[in-house]
Amino acid sequence: MSRGKKKPLLSVAQVFNKCQDGVSGHTKYSKILWDVQEAEPEKCWNEFLFCLEHLLALPESNTHVERALRFVATFTSQRPSGRQEAGDAFVEDVLTHLVSLAEAEDKVVRLRVCQLLQLIINNQADEEAALSEDLADSLLETMLARLRDKQPAIRCQAALALARLADPGEAGDFGEDQVTASYLKLLSTEKNKDVRKAVLHSLSAARCSLPEILNRTRDISDEVRKMAYAAVRDRIPLEFLSLEQRACLIRRGLGDRKPAVRDCAVALMCHWLNEDAGGSVPSLLRLLDVHNAEEEAEEVLLALIECGRLQPAALTEEATEGDPGLRRAPGSGPMLDEVALMWRIFCTWLQDEGTAKGRAAAAASGAVASVEAARASDALEALEAMLPVSAEELMVLVAVHAAADGPGFAARQLLTVAARCVDLSDAAGRAAAGDLVRSILTDADVAPAKDRSMAVAIMRLAAQVAGSPSELAALTLDAVAQCLHLEESTAAAASPEDWIRKEDCWLHSLNLASVLLEGTPLKGQRPVATNPALTCLADIGRRLVIPAMDMGPAVRAEAVRCTGLLCMLGDGCEATAAADCAQRIALLRTAFLADPGAAVRAAAAKALCDLAVLRGTTLLDQRYTPLLDHPSEMMNANPAAIEEASLPVLDVLLGRLSAAGGRGASEDDDYAVVSAVSEGLAKLLLHQQLPGAQHAPLQDAETHKVLAQLLVLACDPGLAAAARMQQCLTVFFHAYAPQSAAAQGRICAAALPAARRALLAGSAPAKSAAPQLLRYVLSLLQMEIKGDEDSSSNGHVGLVEHALKEALACPASQAFKPFIAALLKLANCLSLNGVTQEDVKRIKVLAERAVEGLKDRMAAKDAAALAQRLSGLDQTPDEGLSEEMLRALLASVEDMGAANKDLFEAAAAAPPLPRAGRPARGRGAAKLAAAGRRRRAGPSESEDEESSDSTDDGASGSSADEQEPALADSNTAATVTTARDKRTAMRKQSALPTRSGQRENVAPMEQ
């Protein structure tokens, strides 16, 4: 070849082959292909289409196919300089051809088309991202249709392709955008995690989409949760989030069970510190609202310390805003609340770090011990540098903040520092700390301990000052008596201001007393103090609790808490204190039954349940019963206790649960009380499973009643607002069911009574929660029992027989069809371990009668399957039940039907709930509507959560809102629109918004 002769151009096929060698040569081969297109436009177009369609039809997914697709995207985004118009026309022809193939029958073609479209669109530079209006509309319509495709991978690529087609509108809030609306709808129904990830990656941040993005932080898939935190970090500035949303993100992210999700949440916190707070820790704490989200703010700082972003031992002035810290001058005034919290967290972390490293050094040897000892020394030296020179100076600083106006937030932080990080072994420091504690405890004007967290901080420092529990009790009781002037017999204040101040003093004193009672090992009758008003702990009930029950709800709630703690003391329920114990139990029952304050009733419920766990329900009833011999003494004090005197404490608690949820539920139901009772009873049942119980367990009938009521609450849709309670019950049943065969036997005994109660509680039998409850019971009974315990005594056989009898005794109406189907499903799926031959023959007769008598096809199918299982277990199939046993069996079915007749009639007579927005229609209309719903059912509703492929090669699923038109000839190749025709038709250009950094698609959101 001569030197001046030009090298011949490669063909289009050769370029496609070369580009598969590596991504690094894509730019080079893009220029070559544009040169080929300039030299021979028509030939290049035909060859390009041939190679492109061959690429789209390749079923396998490998590196070479992916490189070729990426090359096409690179080629269409790198238009040659000086030929912009010709390049735009060529790219639009490519896009038009791809859009025409997006509805092909072959799922591989649809997938490749959507994948290539999203690569081309997202690779376009901002100045080149302009399409004709017709093409943009066609592309939008086609990709919106692919969002409803049956294949998850196609929906995923379509979601990515629509990312830059979102239109913020005139208001800039994406409120009327089709793409954003489709994204939000898909997120709420999509079961495939990859599709949800793609939608989150593409969704624009706006006021309408922000709640759904935050909801994805609770997604079942950890990968989607990671994507949600990344979306918040990249697209949503901190000022756009409300204080509640910030706290929610912190709780969910830092408390996630997956380390990868926690790392993403920590990266979000680092972003807040660097970008939104400018690297300043106090500024970050101000953005988190430490007064209402103190725990969340502390978790953020600890996470930043753990990841290495903050170094407490080497803080800079920028990080602390130049604050002098705990070594401030005496006249410099109190520090800000955020600054006080910051120093408290840093000091306590250094103290804990030094202690942990010191223990590690003591347990290790050699070089490891030296390293750990050096780390402990560094942490303690940094702590000494933060704290004041002497303990007296720190106590003065705490006193200044305690005397300042405000809620005492900073004073509480400094009290924690003084209690946990200061050595009070020297006499001067201990004396200064003692004076500080006494001044705070007896401060009747400010009453700082009316906040319970403040009371905990004060008592923690008081415990460091006192040498023993008895000294701590004496210090507290003397201070409370002095604060309330209990030794004086003065009349109550007349003005409202004095009354409010009086209630603050009582709340202050009761908080201190409850904190003291929670941690003391002393007995209630032991004298510890010198003042005549409060000599022993038992005097708290006589001198503090009883007068406090005439005050506000906050004071009454704390008084009830103190009453429960007094009963839990070492001699709280002994025979020597029987009279005081009876009075306290009567007060708790009265508060639980008759107090108008929800917080008071919840505190009483927790106290009664804790006492039942600790002492047993039998002892509580025994201590309370003698009080009933003198009703006149109690009539004025607690008439509700006299009215409910005949009921044991367990029936009192269950009565409150029976009144909650179901048909009689209202929006004003006391969910706090119901949650407290249900959690307490769950703890009681779990406590009975522990070996070495100190009190008599519940009787079997009582256990069955409790389990039945808890099952009803766990499956009651009317109690959806009590999310904490239902989560607690779910955890309880999953821990209780596999404990033993006896535990499963108790669940079996409680299943049908619970189902009947749920059936009666529903608005109609067909709408009740009874079928759901039976399915939940089945899932519990299918759990594997822990250990090697024999499962033959798990009660499954008895439940199978009773479920069949219940199904045969149930009315054969359409309303009870779901209930009967659930009963047969339960009977068919339970194990038959330990079944005797007599049981086999008896249950077989019931199953065969169910097959003959039931009209429901699915129920009859389950009954037939059960009868077939029993036939395989029957060792003497030629012998049946005797006439006497058969008559007794059928009589038991009739007796069950007669016993439940009133229940079934009451359930059937329940007035149905109104069905708004849905007119009545005849049978024919119902069939047509059902057929329409089947055609409109979205594909994601029936897909498996983690599915990524499907065997159906249909073009697409159907929309939930509109039926997709039939695709008659869409699988054939459409006629290619030439570049000349497209250029003459192109008029109006519509620019695609950029998504670089994801910040440009942030709609304005007001705080």
DSSP one-letter string for 688-733: HHSSS-SSPPPPHHHHHHHHHHHHHHHT-GGGTT-HHHHHHHHHHH
CA-based nearest residue to 155, from 121, 122, 202, 123: 202
By CB neighbour count within 10 A (0-12 exposed, 13-18 middle, 19+ buried), where does 915 fall? exposed
Within 10 A of 235 (CB to CB), how many other CB atoms are there?
23
Give percent of the chain above pLDDT 90: 37
Q: Is residue 515 over pLDDT 90?
A: yes
874/891 Cα distance (integer angstroms): 23
CB 302 within 8 A of CB 345: yes
Q: Calculate what percentage of the chain has a pLDDT beyond 70.
A: 81
**pTM, 2 dp:** 0.79
DSSP state of 101: T
- CA-to-CA separations, 319 to 278, 282, 304, 669, in angstroms, rounded: 9, 8, 12, 48
The CA distances from residue 406 to 260, 312, 424, 455, in Å, are: 41, 28, 28, 16
How many whole angstroms separate alpha carbon 16 and alpha carbon 552? 82
**Among 89-103, 257-271, 316-330, which stretch is predicted with the lowest mean pLDDT?**
316-330
Q: In this predicted structure, what is the pLDDT of residue 307?
A: 93
Best mean pLDDT range from 134-138, 621-625, 912-916? 134-138
Provide the pLDDT for residue 484. Answer: 84
Tokens (6 digits) for 687: 């406590």
CA distance 859 to 817: 9
For residue 938, pLDDT over 70 is answered with no
Alpha carbons within 13 angstroms on the beta-carbon side of residue 446 total: 19
Name 527's bridge partners. Answer: 536
DSSP structure class, residue 527: B
- Hey, which of 329-343, 570-584, 667-681, 714-728 has the most confident mean pLDDT? 329-343
Judge whether 508 and 450 are in contact, CB under 8 Å: yes
pLDDT confidence of 149, banded at 50, 70, 90? very high
Q: Which residue has the tokens 């054939």?
A: 972
Q: Which of 784, 690, 687 is nearest to 744 (CA)?
A: 784
pLDDT at position 736 over 70 = yes
The pLDDT, as a whole number, for residue 295 is 94
Residue 114 and residue 161 in contact, taking contact as beta carbons nearer than 8 Å: yes
* pLDDT at site 932: 40
Structural tokens at position 628: 């009933």
Lowest average pLDDT, out of 50-54, 129-133, 202-206, 577-581, goes to 129-133
Tokens encoding 968: 């008659």
Rounded (10°) angle between helices 883-899 and 796-809: 70
List, in order, residues 6 or more apart from 81 with CB less than 8 Å away.
none
Residues 80-106 pLDDT 10s: 777 778 888 888 889 999 999 999 999
Q: What letter does residue 79 receive in the DSSP assignment? A: P
284 pLDDT exceeds 90? Answer: yes
Reported as a pLDDT band with limits 50, 70 and 90, residue 692 is low
Task: Name the phi and psi angles at 536, rounded to 5.
Answer: -135, 175
pLDDT of 963 above 50 = no
pLDDT digits (tens, 9 = 90+) for 339-398: 999 999 999 999 999 999 999 999 998 899 999 999 999 999 999 988 998 899 999 999
- pLDDT (average), residues 529-554: 87
> Best-predicted range by mean pLDDT among 46-50, 84-88, 924-928?
46-50
Supply the pLDDT for residue 799: 92
Q: Measure the CA–CA gap between 604 and 597, rounded to whole angstroms.
A: 11
* Amino acid 530: pLDDT: 79
Amino acid identity, position 724: R
Average pLDDT, whole number, for the chain? 81
- Give the whole-angstrom CA distance, residue 757 versus residue 765: 11
Whether the CB-CB separation of 824 and 850 falls below 8 Å is answered with yes
| DSSP tag of 276 | I
**Mean per-residue pLDDT, 805-825:** 87
